[in-house]
Structure 1
């Protein structure tokens, strides 16, 4: 007789369609329940139990037929494994857990019996036909039959879509965008490595609010808001339902760093009370799209999330409920542990499943694999265990600074430490985007791989011409990773100087940006960073030591030839040992980078945040009053390194500055009056420091915290030396001077540069061994030791001067001047200017050159900071009796001589704007307004580039106005080489006309 019992069948739901499309990304896309116990299970008895339970729960026998799930009538496959079992300390190595389901291609479930000790039963099901609760229902019935009981069965055909249709969705689906970060960060795929990982932890006791506890740890680890997908069992809406189907829909839970588990749990409970999981059946309309297209969309989401760490959600956190061990026991077998394994899914970076059984809470995790992910996952699970049971947490390793043995090696190891521990933290802030440590790491690997392909390695020097851009930051990280040293260049330097620097350095290659590639005319291999394919299969790791060179930076040379300083990895690491405390460096640091890339101040802005977990905040535009406002007020930067010259301008601009975290002043001598102004300007809560460090001493080697300075004090100390840095104050015979007496500063220790590139004679002259054998750098600076133990800077022992933080040998400028057509002789001196800082003053004997011709000549060959503020054309250069230049008899000792010859004065009633601009010039230059005319040249009258910033800011604010200010600033670069009163007036008028037209 033919049976009239209807065949169990139901339509495939929208959620299950997504699982079918997702399965190829992570086969077999199975949920798995692992039951371990003491004793044995008879194989034949288990086979009969599986048959009986599956007949009662036909959802365990489903196969796909078109658009439906249909009961095949076939008992799920039972596999017997004699050896192997499931080692929860090495889940990834278990082939049972990753193999296809069943003995046929269309199977959706199977049972595995491991007969070795401990006896283990594994229930496996495709997630498209069962959820964790449904798998538990089926497993419990298998053990009922083993115990000789009748199975409860699950004959209901109810699926998620039918239940939601019956109850009704109270709202609209959650809009999902790929914006959420993983708590593990991004991890580039490892060739031959695991695409997915499993890890497990077991915690004593059962713990209320387990989902919220995990959520709190995830948010704090990520360091930014996270969105979690929390599967909710729909059976709660109708407890009478007996169905093994996939009856779980997500409730999306948002959590913020610093929120307590109780706060997050309250948010979760509100969501469940409001039945928000019922809104999520639409799945963004993917169910209406043909399966092949859906599969491609999901594959793209998977690839995008893995590469960029931009995900639809940060994690899945599922609680599979409490399981009674007795319900999974049978005669001769007592269950001792029950654990669930989450599915591998590339659409979500990490997935947790929690099971409570007996006196244990079992936590198992699946995540996308990748470089560094396994280590970060272990650390994350340790933090979660500590959240559940603080007593179970492993003891924390002893605190150790960057000077500890494990970290003394090199810059690369410090950066990789940040990548491993803070992959999702922001590393670089550009005006249009933010880049995480993982993203910079990945990008740098691609660039480093290209460098290695081109033969770059340890001992190589690679020039970087990329200005203040994220590409420039990546290039420097990549060069270090390849084992080479980077040579930073400034695109604003004259082309000849760039070419000479590259040629002198012996750089093997130039990394640059598309719009800068033609600035260096010398014969060198050029690679555009933007053109390098960012996909890379394996991380680049070239071993380097503390003695290897990290970067080369050029400083002015007294013979007219700049010299390259070789700065080793160990020097930078030692700098950070002290700078981390001096400048309060750490994850909250946002270090403003506005500096010329070619100076070691730029290296301070690069290394200081990136090696301590903070971020470099890039200020790409040239310095103007608008740039300064943006940097100080709007960029998000909280740590600034300023020269006294720039600080003077900032204070006079009266910008409304939020209280910064740290303000470092360095590069020039700081006068007490300016220090007092800075303290008032930045407020009492700003951490204000005066720092000192020649290029030859790895960025900064002394620092002094500025409290409440007395403007009338004789000086501001430069402070105590860095860790491991011996200091010597010596006389001209290299003998120690008495305490309190002035001597020349010598420094020793690991921060010393290797020396000067290809300049052995000069290296031997400046890097000297003392009678004790100590290798030191002879700074040429004079200082004294104060009773407090701090160093007090007195001045220079030679003619070298600091101009806005850049060390300048006047002899180099003089050498260039004397090559100018029409110039027969020249002298260049540094002069202190009123208010602090220095300017260069040039004295020129010329047959047929004028101010404009000479300035144009210098501008083509020297950086702007090396162009003299004032040019004096003289008939002779006075000499002393022994034939040396007699500086005391030179005219115009003041940087802004009142006796400068000037054209006829501006008539006050000619133009109100011109009158206002003339008044501003007279104020900034400290001149009589009647000595100025439209042809007056700002720089010829003693102004320098920082004074020009102040002057132009005042013109912009008082004459141009806010609406026309951007148009005015856009014209400034073209003005600066010929900054006349008339041209500034014309630019201001044009800007206002442009706004009004």
Structure 2
């Protein structure tokens, strides 16, 4: 005779025994998750999904059998109530939200589909079988199936008691006495009134330490000593645990009026760190009693609490975390709101459920009813909403024009009409007002249209950072086309390659760059050869779907990729950037970036779309330029990389009048953030910004507090821009839990169109998730912190940021291997701990036919070959892509996984013979200048972190690991401590052409010459 084996079962935990006792005292004693959205949900599809989700989460099918919960094998019902919506009646009186759930016969869980549009879903569970996190796990499974995805499952048969036992914790529980007062005093419902009230509030934005802030206000309402109970999810002790059972135990916070939220929050954090909740497993002994006995004691306690106002705790405040609405959506239904209904419990006068979703904080309160309680509750909620709203990180809002349906050109046109005489661009040779820039751009637009440029075309711009270049960019946009910015300082091969890849037929330039512009097979238009006015007003030809610009980024296969950014993306960025960067008519935004990067697009467009001015910095960055930008009277807004910020800090500059500084392009670490706050002062808005080129420049930002943490870990990259969705997914594109690392995917209007003429790579990186949303897959890893901020955690591939520029080592490797002396090469990123930045290191094997020098010639031969490769690369790639370290090795070892074996490479590097500095034969050296040379050698040793004894006259700054930003620091120190102010300008001017041949002997010679010039002058 065979017996039926239960599909799933587990013991009833002591906590759940207590909940069984409460079930008839405060019905329905259920946790409920409400999801509202647009579209509709098909009843049959929902029933199939609920059944499948309950198969993977059998905790949704439990009934009581003695002292055990047993899977009865029947899916929870889907109840359709088209005649009811959540606006038909107050929550307290809503018939569907008070439906009983039967732990003895079932069901213990059910799903409601409400409203005539069938767009409100309520998932309900008797609290004896599930907690809030368990309900969320089940809900996520339902929506995975509605999207056609596979389920993950939650089949662990473990609840609070068994988890605490497995952890071996046996702490002392808190002594609970019925002395905690209610915020509303005594509460006895009048005849005919409901025993409990539900009220809801929505706060725009999210607040740090929200539980502590609410506790502070409840304490003030009580007016005396208060005890707040905060449920803590025990799953934090086992990240792999997937159970829907009750896995929450309380922390108790004691407060008195006047205690600030920071003190209460510190108390909460200490409790979490010490895992105090684990000691509360058997508090009071009620859990061990028979259900009937516990019920009698609870009934007496409820009566005493209502009559006297004395309670075990004053309130329960439960934060159920942050919910991604995209994970509660599927094609045909988009979730717009989600909130949880707290359990009615007569033992506690007030219970608040807090949930965050899409930049909003949802508050729902369950409260014991009584005479006058409703108005007191409304007043308390008003106070909480006001306090949280004042502290919240607000949802970005549109400002001065940006909004759906707008374009870059239409916004600029409105600014021309509103303030024609306002300054729009400031250059070394003058400035342009909005009206003057608009008139000159009309001339360029008319000329381009006459030459056949049409809406949707891409037009190259090859020009310095000049007023003529700004005219060219805007003229292209007014012609209905998009611009592709090229940097005249980039090598010919790079420029020709991009022109060929993009297929552009027209190039806008200035007279000074006309020769370079003629390199490609393009029609060349010289801006400064055109009149400054006289053209008809150009109509706004662009639509939000049209391109604003194309910018090329490094490619892993050796071929750069052109990112196509649309008007909608930039307009949406303005909705957040206006607030982030304090943009407005007073903005003076420094443009010193390479024209070919999206940082340059930010410096150009952000001020011109907010009524401010772009400040053009024509020179390359050196310490004099940095001093003028930061300490001069013009610039007050800029975007910097952490690498450049490090140089600014080391130069000991004194910024004046800075309104906003955005840090981005690389990971920012705590110590540098703290030094930056000290450098720029409290009046400057300091932000950590993040954004791939494919996300329209910047898609997340964090405003740094007055005193950023100096901890060594990376500074969070903050929260997303307006209408930007964030997904943290595992390799199977399934969401990872909060706090765990996943790959960053972004959705929303800032997602770029794709890569120009590269459908293969576009399909790989621009993907459509199962929710139906199109996203950009960044390749970056991140985690979501408890406060909701994102924290960068590395890359899934080898891509690296060098001084804010995205570099694929494979592209640099491909360029090196084109040299005839090279047989094989490998390129990797190296993080320099002493400077906190990334550099490229190249490992090169000679071509077989060249042979390898032996003995004493080896070191000199390696140095010479490294310099040859550096000069070769200077003709092919931008300066930031030239490796700071080039090592000539006999072979390139690989790990067992086929990856570059960095440790083995370090051992294989050519030995560097230690030798002292010797400039005796250098024509610029004289015995009288030996002290100057020794001073400079000491500066090199400090900046490069090398032994001074290893330096000699032909030592190359870049070969020793320096880069352009390190050279700024080195030249600044030489100029100010050795050359002196009188010869400073002459020194910088003399070295400007030596960027790829920066040897110690040449620097010494230039310093000696400049020093003498200054003394004579």
What TM-score do the two structures reach when normalised by structure 1? 0.58
CA–CA separation in structure 1 for the residues paired with 2:914 and 2:420: 61
Q: State the match for 2:930 in structure 1.
A: 911
Shift of residue 405, structure 1, vs aligned partner: 8.2
**Equivalences for 1:160-199 in 2 at 5 Å?**
none
CA–CA separation in structure 1 for the residues paired with 2:456 and 2:738: 43
Q: State the match for 1:544 in structure 2.
A: 542
Q: State the match for 2:318 in structure 1.
A: none
Instruction: Note if contact 1:557-1:808 (Cα within 8 Å) is conserved in structure 2.
Output: yes
Instruction: Note if contact 2:561-2:756 (Cα within 8 Å) is conserved in structure 1.
Output: yes
Residues 404 and 620 (structure 1 numbering): CA distance in 2 closer, same or farther, change over 3 Å? Answer: closer
CA–CA separation in structure 2 for the residues paired with 1:933 and 1:612: 52
Shift of residue 404, structure 1, vs aligned partner: 6.7
CA RMSD of aligned residues (A): 1.9
Name whichever of 618-627 and 512-521 sits farther off: 512-521
Q: State the match for 1:714 in structure 2.
A: 713
**Equivalences for 1:21-32 in 2 at 5 Å?**
none
> Is it true that 1:646 corresponds to 2:644 in the alignment?
yes
CA–CA separation in structure 1 for the residues paired with 2:666 and 2:541: 37
CA–CA separation in structure 2 for the residues paired with 1:722 and 1:898: 49
Which string of whole-angstrom CA distances, capped at 9 and with x for unpartnered residues, describes residues 362-413 of structure 1? xxxxxxxxxxxxxxxxxxxxxxxxxxxxxxxxxxxxx982597866321001
Which string of whole-angstrom CA distances, capped at 9 and with x for unpartnered residues, describes residues 172-210 of structure 1? xxxxxxxxxxxxxxxxxxxxxxxxxxxxxxxxxxxxxxx
Q: State the match for 2:778 in structure 1.
A: 779
Count of aligned positions: 596
Q: State the match for 2:1004 in structure 1.
A: 985
Shift of residue 621, structure 1, vs aligned partner: 0.5
Which string of whole-angstrom CA distances, capped at 9 and with x for unpartnered residues, describes residues 782-817 of structure 1? 000011111111111110000011000000000000
Q: State the match for 1:582 in structure 2.
A: 580
> Is it true that 1:975 corresponds to 2:983 in the alignment?
no
Q: State the match for 1:853 in structure 2.
A: 868
Q: State the match for 1:558 in structure 2.
A: 556
**Equivalences for 1:874-885 in 2 at 5 Å?**
874-885=889-900
Which string of whole-angstrom CA distances, capped at 9 and with x for unpartnered residues, describes residues 414-467 of structure 1? 101110111111101112322110010011011111111111121211110112
CA–CA separation in structure 2 for the residues paired with 1:405 and 1:837: 36
CA–CA separation in structure 1 for the residues paired with 2:535 and 2:498: 35
CA–CA separation in structure 1 for the residues paired with 2:999 and 2:541: 55
* SS of equivalent residue, structure 1 residue 612: coil
Name whichever of 881-890 and 748-757 sits farther off: 881-890
CA–CA separation in structure 2 for the residues paired with 1:963 and 1:787: 55
* SS of equivalent residue, structure 2 residue 982: coil
Residues 719 and 400 (structure 1 numbering): CA distance in 2 closer, same or farther, change over 3 Å? Answer: closer
Instruction: Note if contact 1:898-1:927 (Cα within 8 Å) is conserved in structure 2.
Output: no
Which string of whole-angstrom CA distances, capped at 9 and with x for unpartnered residues, describes residues 221-255 of structure 1? xxxxxxxxxxxxxxxxxxxxxxxxxxxxxxxxxxx
Instruction: Note if contact 1:447-1:534 (Cα within 8 Å) is conserved in structure 2.
Output: no
**1:446 is matched with which residue: 443, 446, 451?**
443
Residues 537 and 802 (structure 1 numbering): CA distance in 2 closer, same or farther, change over 3 Å? Answer: closer
CA–CA separation in structure 2 for the residues paired with 1:815 and 1:500: 14
Residues 529 and 405 (structure 1 numbering): CA distance in 2 closer, same or farther, change over 3 Å? Answer: closer
Q: State the match for 1:752 in structure 2.
A: 751
* SS of equivalent residue, structure 1 residue 613: coil
Shift of residue 904, structure 1, vs aligned partner: 3.2
Q: State the match for 2:905 in structure 1.
A: 890
Shift of residue 547, structure 1, vs aligned partner: 0.7
CA–CA separation in structure 2 for the residues paired with 1:938 and 1:592: 28
CA–CA separation in structure 1 for the residues paired with 2:906 and 2:763: 38
* SS of equivalent residue, structure 1 residue 964: helix
Stretches of structure 1 lacking an aligned partner (at least 5 in a row): 1-398
* SS of equivalent residue, structure 1 residue 911: helix
**1:592 is matched with which residue: 587, 590, 593?**
590
CA–CA separation in structure 1 for the residues paired with 2:631 and 2:455: 41
Q: State the match for 2:815 in structure 1.
A: 816
CA–CA separation in structure 2 for the residues paired with 1:697 and 1:670: 19
Shift of residue 991, structure 1, vs aligned partner: 1.8
* SS of equivalent residue, structure 2 residue 716: coil
Shift of residue 906, structure 1, vs aligned partner: 4.5
CA–CA separation in structure 2 for the residues paired with 1:750 and 1:986: 55
**Equivalences for 1:639-678 in 2 at 5 Å?**
639-678=637-676
Residues 892 and 476 (structure 1 numbering): CA distance in 2 closer, same or farther, change over 3 Å? Answer: farther
Instruction: Note if contact 2:404-2:568 (Cα within 8 Å) is conserved in structure 1.
Output: no
**Equivalences for 1:190-269 in 2 at 5 Å?**
none
* SS of equivalent residue, structure 1 residue 712: coil
CA–CA separation in structure 1 for the residues paired with 2:399 and 2:644: 31
> Is it true that 1:939 corresponds to 2:971 in the alignment?
no
Residues 870 and 455 (structure 1 numbering): CA distance in 2 closer, same or farther, change over 3 Å? Answer: same
CA–CA separation in structure 1 for the residues paired with 2:540 and 2:1002: 54
CA–CA separation in structure 1 for the residues paired with 2:919 and 2:678: 39
Q: State the match for 2:455 in structure 1.
A: 458
Shift of residue 900, structure 1, vs aligned partner: 4.2
CA–CA separation in structure 2 for the residues paired with 1:683 and 1:403: 28
Instruction: Note if contact 2:441-2:472 (Cα within 8 Å) is conserved in structure 1.
Output: yes
Instruction: Note if contact 2:716-2:789 (Cα within 8 Å) is conserved in structure 1.
Output: yes
* SS of equivalent residue, structure 2 residue 806: strand
CA–CA separation in structure 2 for the residues paired with 1:436 and 1:504: 36
Name whichever of 438-447 and 629-638 sits farther off: 629-638
Instruction: Note if contact 1:670-1:836 (Cα within 8 Å) is conserved in structure 2.
Output: no
Instruction: Note if contact 2:425-2:614 (Cα within 8 Å) is conserved in structure 1.
Output: yes
Which string of whole-angstrom CA distances, capped at 9 and with x for unpartnered residues, describes residues 854-906 of structure 1? 1110001010000000001000001223444323322179xxx9974444335
CA–CA separation in structure 1 for the residues paired with 2:671 and 2:910: 24
CA–CA separation in structure 1 for the residues paired with 2:801 and 2:598: 13
CA–CA separation in structure 2 for the residues paired with 1:898 and 1:985: 27
* SS of equivalent residue, structure 2 residue 740: coil
CA–CA separation in structure 1 for the residues paired with 2:867 and 2:569: 44
Instruction: Note if contact 2:700-2:721 (Cα within 8 Å) is conserved in structure 1.
Output: yes
**Equivalences for 1:476-875 in 2 at 5 Å?**
476-520=473-517, 521-634=519-632, 636-707=634-705, 708-834=707-833, 835-847=835-847, 848=850, 850-875=865-890
CA–CA separation in structure 2 for the residues paired with 1:542 and 1:414: 10
Instruction: Note if contact 1:557-1:563 (Cα within 8 Å) is conserved in structure 2.
Output: yes
Shift of residue 987, structure 1, vs aligned partner: 1.1
Instruction: Note if contact 1:593-1:605 (Cα within 8 Å) is conserved in structure 2.
Output: yes
CA–CA separation in structure 2 for the residues paired with 1:628 and 1:756: 34
Instruction: Note if contact 1:902-1:936 (Cα within 8 Å) is conserved in structure 2.
Output: no
Shift of residue 712, structure 1, vs aligned partner: 1.8
Instruction: Note if contact 1:407-1:413 (Cα within 8 Å) is conserved in structure 2.
Output: no
Instruction: Note if contact 2:592-2:616 (Cα within 8 Å) is conserved in structure 1.
Output: yes
CA–CA separation in structure 1 for the residues paired with 2:403 and 2:697: 22
Shift of residue 515, structure 1, vs aligned partner: 1.7
Which string of whole-angstrom CA distances, capped at 9 and with x for unpartnered residues, describes residues 842-863 of structure 1? 0011245612111110001010
Residues 739 and 852 (structure 1 numbering): CA distance in 2 closer, same or farther, change over 3 Å? Answer: same
Shift of residue 677, structure 1, vs aligned partner: 0.8
Stretches of structure 2 lacking an aligned partner (at least 5 in a row): 1-395, 851-863, 921-926
Instruction: Note if contact 2:889-2:910 (Cα within 8 Å) is conserved in structure 1.
Output: no
* SS of equivalent residue, structure 1 residue 427: strand
Instruction: Note if contact 1:592-1:618 (Cα within 8 Å) is conserved in structure 2.
Output: yes
Instruction: Note if contact 1:906-1:930 (Cα within 8 Å) is conserved in structure 2.
Output: no
CA–CA separation in structure 2 for the residues paired with 1:730 and 1:403: 36
> Is it true that 1:959 corresponds to 2:971 in the alignment?
no
Name whichever of 422-431 and 401-410 sits farther off: 401-410
* SS of equivalent residue, structure 1 residue 423: coil
